[in-house]
Amino acid sequence: MTSPPTSGDDMAPGHRGFVRKRTTWLFLVFSMLYVAVAGRLVYLQVLQHDYFASRAAAIRFREIAISASRGSICDRYGRPLAVNIETASVFANRREMSDPSRTAIRVAALLDKEPSIIEEKLSGGRNFVWLGRQIDARIGDEVWKNRTRLPGIGIQRDTKRVYPAGSLAAQVVGFTNIDNGGAEGIESVSNSLLSGIDGKYRAELDSHRRVIPETRHVIREPEDGKDVYLTIDTTIQHIAEQALAKMAGTYSPSSACAVVLDPATGEILALANYPTYDPNNVRKTRPPLWRNRAVADLYEPGSTLKMVTASAALNEGISPRSILAHCTGCEKMKGGRIRCTLHRPYLDGHGGVDMFRMIEQSCNIAAAHVALRLGSKKLYKYEKAFGLLDRPDTGFGCEAVGYIESPDKWRPIRLANIGFGQGLAVTPLQMASVYATIANGGVRVEPKIVREVRNSDGSIYKAFTPGKKTRVISEEAARMAVKLLKSCVDSGTGKAARIDGRTVAGKTGSAQIAKTNGRGYEPGAYIASFMGFAPASSPRLAIAVVVNRPKGSHWGATVAGPVFQEIGEKALWYLKVPSDAPSNHEIKQKREEDLKRMAQLPLSNFLTF
């Protein structure tokens, strides 16, 4: 019997060679595999160590933002206009919910909502859903207390912006969006100052990817936003808004605005727009109401601009008592015809007009002659110096720039029209600044809306500095310009703006509204305005009132004059500005005393032969 071969020695030489070759190949293959695995391990564990370690940490840890508290917006005395209140936002995490329908019913009861609304939100296909944002913090507390009965429901402490003064200065203050970012007004322009810098904490997550509270570790503390103090005085703002609303009750304008400036510092003490809105209920309002028209909208100023022409003339040495023109109500000149609006006793024209009568009676023909005498380049130079043609640096961020054609293109009729306020477009704030400049002895102070900025601890971040100062006309010219404006209120078209016990300087304006295609004017559409300052002897307030498309009357004196008067009277009383003229009561009393004294005199005193 022969047994099967058991060792290589018994193999045939060819077969032995085959086995050796195969073994070598296997060894090589395994070696290569080993090298590949070892290489991969080195790659993963050494070269990619940081990457995988950070990925593992990212799964295990989470970095969560700590919201910085948004700064407040206040008036000049720190009275709040925009502040934060604590709220809560409720969210759902679908992955953690075992019975969404039952949870929806429970959470709906706490949020005072229909369960169907909650269920609809949950069935949207997304894992993370907000169920209620910026709701009452007490409701948030209730949800938190019931959290064991509400798997998958969480709350986030949040803040909500509220406007304690309601609609007061709404177009100035603006409002924020749902994420507490500035959307309009100062909220938007000063957003980077107000919002602050969010902090950050790091925490470990449990198997359900929920934060383990004990593992919280603050990486960076939040830096709260800064508080922005406006130049606005809420009392004067309220007075201005009330005066506009009262006028609107009678004349139903499409819009109106009033600006009150401190002539010495350029500070905007009030800036009121009508109609207005409540920033606490923005969703119920329309975007046109949010517009700060006093700053963002251009209009043709009409007769109120005659004071720029008159100031330029005074500064260039034209005597206020020299006769500038003989007005017959209408004058033909090269390129067209100019007219005056005539009232009693000037139905046949204003006659021989000096600068006093030009302002008192608002004579277009005299203003046209002054403009022609000055020439286009000089008039343009003064319009620019009064700040009408440059972008104002007021701090609103939405300022419109006054528009006028280059003076090289002005034909004589154009120059004449510009002299009495037609053919250029400016903003109400720019016109208020013209009158503030005259009130301030000819020195223009750039208007400002932000007074100072404070850190959250109350320390000053940016202190108050008055706006840029530029001398526009000489002190002497300004003094005479004040006299012109005072006589306009005392004995001219501005009588409606008189304030009891105060001297007042001011000018009316009644301008037709130019068609949007630039050809002519809209029939029956006017802008009524009144601008000036008080007390004329030592001006404290410059006030501009502009009323767009009033119904029933279009005269600046009738529509805007009383608004000016009401703001001036109440604001000067509030500021405790001493009276600088006898009151109506005193004048009446003196007249009665004079009459009594005369009655006691012997008759012979009155008889003359």
Stretch that binds Zn ion, among 116-124, 268-276, 343-351, 593-601 (CB under 5 A): 343-351
For residue 512, the minimal CB distance to Zn ion (Å) is: 17
358 or 473: CB nearest Zn ion: 358
The region that residue 351 occupies, defined by phi over 0 for left and psi between -120 and 50 for alpha, beta otherwise, is left
The contact pattern for Zn ion, residues 80-119, with x = CB under 5 A and - = no contact, is ----------------------------------------
Nearer to Zn ion, 160 or 306 (CB): 306
Specify the DSSP element, H or E, that contains 260.
strand 255-261
Q: In this complex, which beta carbon is closest to Zn ion, that of residue 243 or of residue 340?
A: 340
Choose, by CB under 5 A, the member of 70, 76, 306, 350 that binds Zn ion.
Answer: 350
- 432 part of the interface to Zn ion, by CB under 5 A: no
Closer to Zn ion by Cβ: residue 365 or 560: 365
Binding mask 355-384 for Zn ion (x = CB under 5 A): --------x-x-------------------
Q: Which residues contact 223 (CB under 8 A, 6 or more apart)?
A: 68, 196, 197, 199
Q: Are 549 and 513 in contact (CB under 8 A)?
A: yes
DSSP β-bridge partners for residue 79: none
The DSSP annotation for 185-230 comes to HHHHHTHHHHH-B-EEEEEEB-TTS-B-GGG-EEEE--BPPPEEEE
Q: Which of 551, 555, 585 is nearest to 252 (CA)?
A: 551
Q: How far is the CB of 360 from Zn ion (least distance, A)?
A: 11
The only residue of 230, 308, 340, 367 in contact with Zn ion, by rule CB under 5 A: 340
Q: How far is the CB of 351 from Zn ion (least distance, A)?
A: 8
**Residues whose CB is less than 8 angstroms from the CB of residue 262 and which lie 6 or more positions away in sequence, other chains included:** 231, 269, 436, 540, 541, 542
By CB under 5 A, how many residues form the interface with Zn ion? 5
Question: What tokens were used for 10?
Answer: 């018994």
Contact pattern from residue 300 through residue 339 relative to Zn ion, giving x for each residue in contact according to CB under 5 A and a dash for the rest: ---------------------------x------------
Question: Rounded to whole angstroms, how far apart are CA atoms 305 and 310?
Answer: 9
> Which residue's CB is nearer to Zn ion, number 502 or number 507?
507
Closer to Zn ion at the Cβ: 363 or 544? 363
329 neighbors 349 (Cβ within 8 angstroms): yes
Q: Which x/- pattern, by CB under 5 A, does the window 19-58 give for Zn ion?
A: ----------------------------------------
Q: How far is the CB of 364 from Zn ion (least distance, A)?
A: 6
Using CB atoms within 10 Å of the CB of residue 451, give its burial: 0 to 12 exposed, 13 to 18 middle, 19+ buried. Answer: buried
Residues 6+ apart with CB under 8 A from 111: 90, 118, 131, 132, 135, 139, 143
What does the chain come to in residues?
609
Site for Zn ion in 197-236 (CB under 5 A): none
| Choice between 88 and 415, CB closer to Zn ion | 415
Q: What residues make contact with Zn ion under the rule CB under 5 A?
A: 327, 340, 350, 363, 365
